[in-house]
Amino acid sequence: MLTVRPAVAADAPAIARVHVASWREAYRGIIPQQVLDELDEAEWAARHRAHVPPGSGELHALYAHPSAWGTGAGRALTGAALDALRADGCDEAVVWVLDDNRRGRRFYELAGFTLERSGVPLGEWEVSQSRYRKRL
């Protein structure tokens, strides 16, 4: 059985390992391999982004380890995150997905998110991302 709980500070190293492993698998062929090879788990744990419209909550850095893909872990994490946003009074949720990440885009579309914007450049990697939105 899968248990979803809020993360605590002690979880940061494990979360970073999952995040980096997911990026290396999901974004192979999308983000330059050298960038993926050089991902640093310690740096990754400290990253933050601010792309959230007013009144919305963002699903940020929501990743399941590649070995857990297809097991329901992603759905459970997404459900728990959406429940937390509702409890915080958010009217909607947004999530950013790389345009070439077909698996990720399909995941969020099946979860009821709709495409709002696409083709937004991400960093210096010559890749773009799309923002999806879901009413809560």
Model pLDDT for residues 48-83, shown as the tens digit of each residue: 434 656 677 888 778 899 999 999 999 999 999 999
Position 5 in a domain: no
pLDDT at 49: 35
Position 60 in a domain: yes
Cα–Cα distance, 29 to 36 (Å, whole number): 10
Position 2 in a domain: no
What is the C-alpha end-to-end distance of the chain, expressed in Å? 26
The pTM of this model reads: 0.67
Position 1 in a domain: no
Residue range of the domain that includes 104? 10-135
Cα–Cα distance, 77 to 63 (Å, whole number): 8
Q: Domain containing 124 — which CATH number?
A: 3.40.630.30
